[in-house]
Amino acid sequence: MSTVTAVQSQTVVEWMTSLAEDVKAQADHLTQLDAAIGDGDHGINMNRGMAAVLGALEQQDDGVAPGKLLIAAGRTLVSTVGGASGPLWGSFFRGVGRALGDAPEPDAEQLGEALAAGLKAVQDLGAAAPGDKTMVDALGPAVEAYRAAVAGGGGLAEAASAASEAAAEGAKATVPLQARKGRASYLGERSVGHEDPGAASTVLVMGALARAVG
């Protein structure tokens, strides 16, 4: 079923292009989620960041390794997005990229290790634990599902599709949680009953990956 057996530079370009399109289409939705428990800028932040990422990728020479492209994407998010999500998503993509290193065509297993490194970078920076009602509640299950699929013999497409489904479930599961990190935590119990915006953007990140490798 898997159509792509390795991550190529073009795969990263497709991942980021697809994500930018989705973020643009969902910007109002992300912003509404953030308006409920934050400051209503998450869609704007992600949209600005992803537009800048596409611009930065266009500047890259042909033949640059996938990992290097992801590092460039991450660096761009850190420098163009003011909100918490810029440095956090920037750290994620940089972490994934650094773990992939110079490998010209990393395979499904290498991408799994790299996604885990990206998750670790997010947690090192933001110190969010599972259950704190953040992007970690979607990203953690996504990385776990990805790696479980690969451990079970699945290829890139199967693993990324499992990650995408797990992210969606994780995001839904943030609704009843009380936020313990980020702006939403200022609301205390009033943060209960709303989906976390960063968890919702995680669904877009994983969905775009699944499309890029599917």
Does 161 engage in binding with ligand ADP (CB under 6 A)? no
Contact 16, 50 (CB under 8 A): yes
50 is an interface residue for ligand ADP by CB under 6 A? no
DSSP per residue, 24-73: HHHHHHHHHHHHHHS-S-HHHHHHHHHHHHHHHHHTSPTT--HHHHHHHH
- Alpha helix positions (H), the chain: 9-37, 42-58, 66-80, 85-100, 108-126, 136-151, 156-172, 197-213
Q: Using CB under 6 A, which of the segments 60-68, 91-99, 177-185, 203-211 binds ligand ADP?
A: 177-185
Q: Which of 94, 83, 97, 96 is nearest to 46 (CA)?
A: 83
Closer to Mg ion by Cβ: residue 83 or 140: 83
Residues 110-129 vs ligand ADP: string with x where CB under 6 A? Answer: ------------x---xxx-
- Calculate helix-pair angle for 85-100, 66-80, nearest 10 degrees: 160
Stretch of 14-22, 142-150, 151-159, 190-198 lying at the interface with ligand ADP (CB under 6 A): 190-198
Q: Is 18 in the site for ligand ADP (CB under 6 A)?
A: no
48 binds ligand ADP (CB under 6 A): no
Q: Which of 45, 47, 80, 161 binds ligand ADP (CB under 6 A)?
A: 45
Residues that bind ligand ADP (CB under 6 A): 34, 38-39, 41-42, 45, 83-85, 88, 122, 126-128, 134-136, 181-183, 196-199
